[in-house]
Amino acid sequence: MRTNIEIDDKLMADTLRVTGIRTKREAVEAGLHLLLRFRRQAQLREMFGRLPWTGDLDAMRCDEPPVDEPPVDE
């Protein structure tokens, strides 16, 4: 998508210099990707404690892989 935007010249120059990014387009795209990443992380943090989870933390923390036990005949 072609878009025209006004960006502070000093901000762009500093961004290109500090990051080593070569083009303004790459800098804008990198910024947009970073913004999305931060927002998605914030959304995940908001869900903390709201989703049901079942599991065995002790088994997950064990260094040994789980061993399948044969079925018990009744």
- Position with higher pLDDT, 57 vs 63: 57
**Is residue 30 a contact partner of residue 21, using CB atoms and an 8 Å limit?**
yes
- Predicted TM-score (pTM) of the model is 0.64
Q: Identify the burial level of 27 via C-beta atoms within 10 angstroms of its C-beta, where 0-12 means exposed, 13-18 middle and 19 or more buried.
A: middle
Block residue for tokens 């044969």: 70
pLDDT at 66 over 70: no
pLDDT band for position 39 (cuts 50, 70, 90): very high
**Is residue 25 a contact partner of residue 37, using CB atoms and an 8 Å limit?**
no
Domain definitions of the chain by residue range: 9-61
Distance CA 41, CA 49 (A): 15
pLDDT band for position 74 (cuts 50, 70, 90): low
